[in-house]
Amino acid sequence: MQTEWPNVEQLIALAKTNPEALEQLRHQEIEKLIARAPEDLRRRLRGLQFQIDVKRRLHKSAMGACIELSKMMFDSVHELNDALQGLHQNSTAGINKQRTAAIIPITRAV
């Protein structure tokens, strides 16, 4: 069991000499991280990792996969920001304010 991560130079050397071992290390570290997460989050994390793996496989280049995953992260941050802004607006809207509406009379056409 590895107790310390390899440094950047070691990871680069591993990528050049044995990419399969680097992929195995990546997979092991992801599994350890998910296993340490609270049980109620593990299913969500596995689903997210599945999406990441699929996006990586769909791209022919590592750079294309990196760009796609970056877009995915930014989309998630924007969704979180929108949700937080909505919570903030909902918590401050209508405090001690009376809501009004225009009443439109409905008349019967003759």
Residue 13: the pLDDT is: 96
Residue 1: the pLDDT is: 47
Each residue's pLDDT, cut to its tens digit, for the chain (110 residues) gives 456 889 999 999 999 999 999 999 999 999 999 999 999 999 999 999 999 999 999 998 999 999 999 999 999 999 999 888 887 776 665 555 566 778 888 887 66
Residue 103: the pLDDT is: 82
Residue 99: the pLDDT is: 66
SS3 content of the chain, % helix, strand, coil (to 5): 70, 0, 30
What would the DSSP string read from start to end of 26-46? HHHHHHHHHHHS-HHHHHHHH
